[in-house]
Amino acid sequence: MSRLLIKNAKALLGTHPVGALRVSGNAMADLPHIEDGWLLVENDRITGLGGMDTWPGVTDWNGLEVIDATGRYVLPGWCDPHTHAVFAATREEEWVDRIRGLTYQEIAAKGGGILNSARKLREASEDDLFLSSKARLEELMRLGTVAIEIKSGYGLSLEAELKMLRVVKRLKSELLLQVKATLLGAHALPLEFKDDREAYINMVIKELIPACAAEQLADHVDVFCETNYFTVPEMVRILEAAAAHGLPGKVHVNQFTSIGAIHEAVQHNCLSVDHLEVMTDADFTALANSATIPTLLPGCSFFLGIPYGPARQLMANGNAVALASDFNPGSSPSGNMNTVVSLACTQMNMLPEEAINAATLNAAAAMGLSHELGSLSVGKRASFIVTRPLHSPAALPYFFGSDGIDTVVINGRITRAGEAVA
């Protein structure tokens, strides 16, 4: 058995009660914590924690690794419930075109955007995709990400979508962080179907979803429900086909326009609705008091220069807001959750406590993992961050552009060892 003891932590943050699977509305401003704390890890689990005054002491130091967290905070590792982290090539030339004045939609209309990524992904081998994605994920683990959702959606054909999801399956089995896979066959209409969208949607429903279910390649299904992409009735058909295979929806909605997708996503029990940069009163009403989690993507707003998601309004309505990076080569080429949390505070007026809850417990919930991750609670996976010495938890997002991290532990293993490791 491997054992790891964290002692003298300035505070353990995110010590939600065992069984708390999300935190909603006003309660998001409360980040439960224990000052002057200890935490014990056995194998991959948290097996004990408390204040140093309750520390039972150690009788057997044999093989026990120790982290002295004096002056440092310990918090649950970041969970990132929305990414497109498997891709074949970057798209900085499109970004430069945007600097010169083109819009994201204009670039897409010229055959760039998602279709550009799809052309390149179809040419890439599964091994090359695996290796480049693995390197990306390893960098994110250093930055404190302990769980990640990864979508397909740059294949846009039966074989290329399955290729992407097989890469995700390999990442799941070979890396220490938790990985969830989402089938995003309906990300854009591929060129070869441009005059027959019905045939493509049928392929997604009749071939792709069943093939994924048979090979257990997907945990969720996504649709880019947006003007010029997929309509609300098309999203509904895909969600219903997915539900028949036991796959819940996590959908892209309200990024550029509001077309009634949120109401239908809620009616179809989607786990999350993601983006929400453009919202109407009816969208807020549909979401209020529903179990569907609004996932906001401030990195995408920052990079595209579009509005930020309405975090304050959603919290005022009682929703459990989650944050994600949307890591992808077109609209958000960063998977750094430290940056996402900072942007959420500076641009969306989330309090540091709210943003940390949104990027940990609620983010875990938005990928069906909050029974395992997202808080420092006995029985959960030992996947957490030890910070550098900081004056207060708010200093973490305050120092934007810096990760503030000393040590990262994933599944009980020290994956980034800093100065606190004794």
Nearer to ligand NIG, 119 or 134 (CB): 119
Q: Which amino acid is at 212?
A: C
The minimum distance between CB 54 and ligand NIG, in angstroms, equals 45
Nearer to ligand NIG, 4 or 88 (CB): 88
Please identify which residue in 310, 330, 368, 412 interacts with ligand NIG, judged by CB under 6 A.
330
Find the residue with minimal CB distance to ligand NIG.
330
- The interface region with Fe ion, picked from 192-200, 318-326, 335-343, 349-357 by CB under 5 A, is 318-326
Nearer to ligand NIG, 104 or 130 (CB): 104
Q: Which of residues 2-21 bind ligand NIG (CB under 6 A)?
A: none
When CB distances are held under 5 to 8 angstroms depending on the partner's kind, the choice from Fe ion, ligand NIG, none that residue 408 binds is none
Q: Assign residue 327 a region (left: φ > 0; alpha: ψ between -120 and 50; beta: otherwise).
A: beta
Q: Please report whether residue 81 would count as binding ligand NIG according to CB under 6 A.
A: no
- The interface region with Fe ion, picked from 99-107, 259-267, 324-332, 393-401 by CB under 5 A, is 324-332
Binding mask 237-276 for Fe ion (x = CB under 5 A): ----------------------------------------
What b/e readout covers 108-139, taking b as 16+ CB neighbours within 10 angstroms?
beeebbbbbbbbebbebeeeebbebbbebbee
Q: Which of residues 196-225 bind ligand NIG (CB under 6 A)?
A: 224
Binding mask 38-77 for ligand NIG (x = CB under 6 A): ----------------------------------------
Find the residue with minimal CB distance to Fe ion.
326
Q: Which of residues 99-158 bind ligand NIG (CB under 6 A)?
A: 113-114, 117
Q: What is the 3-state secondary structure (H, E, C) of the chain?
A: CCEEEEEEEEEEECCCCCCCCCCCHHHHHCCCEEEEEEEEEECCEEEEEEEHHHCCCCCCCCCEEEEECCCCEEEECEEECCCCCCCCCCCHHHHHHHHCCCCHHHHHHCCCCHHHHHHHHHHCCHHHHHHHHHHHHHHHHHCCEEEEEEECCCCCCHHHHHHHHHHHHHHHHHCCCEEEEEEEEECCCCHHHCCCHHHHHHHHHHHHHHHHHHHCCCCEEEEEECCCCECHHHHHHHHHHHHHCCCCEEEEECCCCCCCHHHHHHHCCCCEEEECCCCCHHHHHHHCCCCCEEEECHHHHHHHCCCCCCHHHHHHCCCCCEECCCCECCCECCCCHHHHHHHHHHHHCCCHHHHHHHHCHHHHHCCCCCCCCCCCCCCCECCEEEECCCCCCCHHHHCCCCCCEEEEEECCEEEECCCCEC
Q: Which of residues 237-296 bind ligand NIG (CB under 6 A)?
A: 252, 255
Nearer to ligand NIG, 49 or 167 (CB): 167
Least Cα distance to 220 among 175, 165, 260 occurs for 165
Q: Which of residues 221-240 bind ligand NIG (CB under 6 A)?
A: 224
Q: Report how many residues bind ligand NIG under the rule CB under 6 A.
A: 13
The minimum distance between CB 187 and Fe ion, in angstroms, equals 9
Q: Please report whether residue 299 would count as binding ligand NIG according to CB under 6 A.
A: no
The minimum distance between CB 84 and Fe ion, in angstroms, equals 6
**Tokens representing 144?**
């404190």
Q: Please report whether residue 326 would count as binding Fe ion according to CB under 5 A.
A: yes
The minimum distance between CB 283 and Fe ion, in angstroms, equals 18
The minimum distance between CB 338 and ligand NIG, in angstroms, equals 20
Q: Give residue 212's Cα distance to chain centre.
A: 21
The minimum distance between CB 165 and ligand NIG, in angstroms, equals 17
Please identify which residue in 80, 283, 326, 354 interacts with ligand NIG, judged by CB under 6 A.
326
Interface residue list for ligand NIG (CB under 6 A): 84, 113-114, 117, 224, 252, 255, 300, 326, 328-331
Interface residue list for Fe ion (CB under 5 A): 326
